[in-house]
Chains A and B, each alone.
Chain A
Amino acid sequence: MLLRLSRLSFNDDELPELCAKLREIRQLLSRVRKFKDLNVRPLYNVWDQTLEPPDVVEERYVKLSWLGQGSLRSGMVRVPWRGE
């Protein structure tokens, strides 16, 4: 299931080592369980209110005019390895 969700495949002979290493990593990550029931808000971004974050967040975009004519074809971005 995890392999399918990850869009990854392995040969049968690779799987035992993969599983052994994943078990080790999972053992390390499992140490975070001690925080599960802690009564604090999760911190997703260090710039929360404690640090007075920037008040206005700009919209993210790329303007075609930034790219230059060499990168464009008919007003759209060229993808050279997909052909002209």
Chain B
Amino acid sequence: MRPLQAHEVINEVLSGSMDLEDHVLQILERVKEKEDTIRAFIALAPESSIRARVREVREWLREGRRPRLAGLVVAVKDNISTSFLPTTAGSRILEGYVPPFDATVVRRLMEEGAIVIGKTNMDEFAMGSTTELSAYWPTRNPWDLERVPGGSSGGSAAALAYGGADLALGSDTGGSIRLPAAYTATVGLKPTYGLVSRYGLIPYANSLEQIGPMARSVRDLALLLDVISGHDPRDATTLRVPPTSTFIAKPADPRSLRVCAPPELLEASEPPVKAAITKLLGRLESEGAAVIYDRHLTTIDDALAVYYTIALAEAASNLARYDGKLYPFVRIAPTYTGTATETRSRGFGPEVKRRIIMGVTSLSEGYRDELYMAAAKGRRVIRDEVLAMSRNCLIAGSVSPVLPPRLGERITDPLKLYALDIYTVIANLSGVPSLTLPVDFYSDLPIGMQLMGPPLSEAQLISAGLLVESLTGLAGVAAP
């Protein structure tokens, strides 16, 4: 199935050949048809407020305004603050919380005429890789209902994959945009650290996470990136750079493309994953691209340990705020400590609790030097190796070592779950951008590839992505 791509919808809406209300209602129908089984959304906006928003955007068009996302339906991950819909980050501890402000990315969407349809399901506080660790329910993969859509932005990816949104926002701390994109044949970008504002993102690990665009094609992803990127005075970690202009990017000329395919990013993948990516790299070579197979990323073996040590330490610190005083969910006890302990013990799920305890451990006297400080040193070694390679070529490799896992297959063993992130965490540790896009199907299951580049090389990645799409013919594909 190939619904219209977002940029095609915009062209038709702005030219007057499509009524934006018809478009939005068509997507709402699709959501009603699919949500009972897929369960991609935690909260959906009431139809009356969606219709009111459609009227507002239509009025803008009558006034002659040309907003870049006029009438496009956008799904927003539930850890991104919205003043008009609850924001739970997939956790019971934030049940009933409606932020008093919009995240900068949401404000930018609204200013460009987007229709935010709802908040998408996710692993609790983005701590997971399958969306099974949501406190509410697991989301199913629209391509195979017995399998997971990846995580933690699995709700956003699933909604896109079944046609329940034109565009979506996710967040990526260690692969949380790219794994779901790979498992659902959608496109996702973990932007350069600091390119997109995190103001209003419910924090998990501040030094690693980024909000990023998700779509059904590279061109649509570029459209969304241009809207949400650029400096934000409300986020001190954003870079002093203007918004990107990637929507006008052209497919890369293969003869000027250099791709490094380090064996460490491919060799340990399941045979169908490895075969699909190797085949795609071969096609790029036959088109004239230089594909280099003998460059090595020697630090990748340590990346998972370094990543989890840092992420869990930052998580323990960030989640200390949930003490029963600031947010609606509370379990009262006679003392402050009792209330905090009772609230946290009832409000957090088991995986979040495990990560808090390990994070507290790695920051504790006696362990700090051995764990957290050692990991921060390891991060520099990994970052420097990735940067050195990315100066010479785009880095290509697997997103996930396996095909989309079956529901329940990974969540009982934390280490098996963490292993899904083996190829994705290096982009977060290094701050570099990473684009994931579909390259093939195996037994009707999607397979994705990631491309990493140097900091702020989003335009280059999008050009390369457009070239890959022209070879695979998978732009805009959606589940039946």
For A81, the closest partner residue in chain B by CB is B328
Q: B194 contacts A6, CB within 8 Å?
A: no
Given contacts A9-B341, A21-B414, A28-B418, contact A43 B360 (CB under 8 A): no
Asked if B337 is at the interface of the complex by the 8 Å CB criterion, the answer is yes
Chain A residues near B383 (CB, 8 Å)? 43, 46
For B377, the closest partner residue in chain A by CB is A35
Q: A36 contacts B370, CB within 8 Å?
A: yes
For B241, the closest partner residue in chain A by CB is A54
Q: How large is the interface on B (under 10, 10 to 19, 20 to 34, 35 or more residues)?
A: 35 or more
CA separation between A61 and B194, bound complex, in Å?
A: 18
Asked if B371 is at the interface of the complex by the 8 Å CB criterion, the answer is yes
CA separation between A24 and B341, bound complex, in Å?
A: 25
Q: A38 contacts B381, CB within 8 Å?
A: yes
Q: B100 contacts A78, CB within 8 Å?
A: yes
CA separation between A7 and B353, bound complex, in Å?
A: 10
Q: A36 contacts B207, CB within 8 Å?
A: no
**Contact mask B369-399 → A, CB, 8 Å, 1/0?**
1110111111111011001000000000000
Q: B364 contacts A5, CB within 8 Å?
A: yes
Q: B236 contacts A58, CB within 8 Å?
A: yes
**Contact mask A46-79 → B, CB, 8 Å, 1/0?**
1100110011111111100011000100000110
CA separation between A55 and B240, bound complex, in Å?
A: 9
Chain A residues near B320 (CB, 8 Å)? 7
CA separation between A82 and B84, bound complex, in Å?
A: 19
Q: Contact partner of A29 among B360, B371, B373, CB < 8 A?
A: B371
For B312, the closest partner residue in chain A by CB is A29
Chain B residues near A67 (CB, 8 Å)? 100-101
Chain A residues near B373 (CB, 8 Å)? 36, 42
CB distance from B412 to the nearest CB of A (A): 9
For B342, the closest partner residue in chain A by CB is A9
Within 8 A of A (CB), among B329-357: 337, 340-342, 344-345, 348, 350, 353-354, 356-357
CA separation between A44 and B243, bound complex, in Å?
A: 26
Q: A31 contacts B305, CB within 8 Å?
A: yes
Q: B377 contacts A42, CB within 8 Å?
A: yes
For A43, the closest partner residue in chain B by CB is B380
Chain B residues near A8 (CB, 8 Å)? 341, 344-345, 348, 353, 356-357
CA separation between A22 and B357, bound complex, in Å?
A: 8
- Which applies to chain B's interface (DSSP): helix, strand, loop or mixed? helix
Q: B375 contacts A25, CB within 8 Å?
A: no
**Contact mask A1-32 → B, CB, 8 Å, 1/0?**
01101111110000000100110111011111
Chain A residues near B429 (CB, 8 Å)? 46
Given contacts A42-B376, A62-B101, contact A28 B239 (CB under 8 A): no
Chain A residues near B370 (CB, 8 Å)? 30, 32-33, 36
By CB atoms of chain B within 10 A, which of A18, A30, A51, A60 has the most? Answer: A51
Chain B residues near A7 (CB, 8 Å)? 320, 323, 337, 340-341, 344
CB distance from A66 to the nearest CB of B (A): 6
Q: A32 contacts B309, CB within 8 Å?
A: yes
CB distance from A38 to the nearest CB of B (A): 5
Chain B residues near A22 (CB, 8 Å)? 354, 357-358
CA separation between A66 and B83, bound complex, in Å?
A: 12
Q: A32 contacts B306, CB within 8 Å?
A: yes
Asked if B431 is at the interface of the complex by the 8 Å CB criterion, the answer is yes
Asked if B288 is at the interface of the complex by the 8 Å CB criterion, the answer is no
Asked if B302 is at the interface of the complex by the 8 Å CB criterion, the answer is yes
CB distance from A72 to the nearest CB of B (A): 9
Q: B240 contacts A54, CB within 8 Å?
A: yes
Q: B431 contacts A25, CB within 8 Å?
A: no
**Contact mask B214-254 → A, CB, 8 Å, 1/0?**
00000000000000000001111111100000000000000
CA separation between A34 and B143, bound complex, in Å?
A: 42
Q: A47 contacts B375, CB within 8 Å?
A: no
Q: Contact partner of B357 among A3, A33, A78, A80, CB < 8 A?
A: A3
For A71, the closest partner residue in chain B by CB is B100
CB distance from A49 to the nearest CB of B (A): 12
Nearest first, the 8 closest Cβ-Cβ pairs linking A and B are A46-B431, A42-B376, A43-B380, A31-B305, A35-B378, A81-B328, A36-B374, A71-B100
- Contacts beyond the supplied A28-B308, A35-B377: 17 A-B pairs with Cβ under 8 Å: A7-B337, A8-B344, A8-B357, A22-B358, A28-B415, A28-B418, A32-B302, A34-B302, A35-B374, A40-B381, A41-B377, A45-B207, A46-B429, A46-B430, A50-B387, A58-B233, A67-B101
Interface CB pairs A-B, < 8 A, 11 = A6-B357, A26-B358, A26-B361, A29-B305, A32-B370, A36-B373, A38-B381, A46-B193, A56-B240, A71-B101, A78-B100
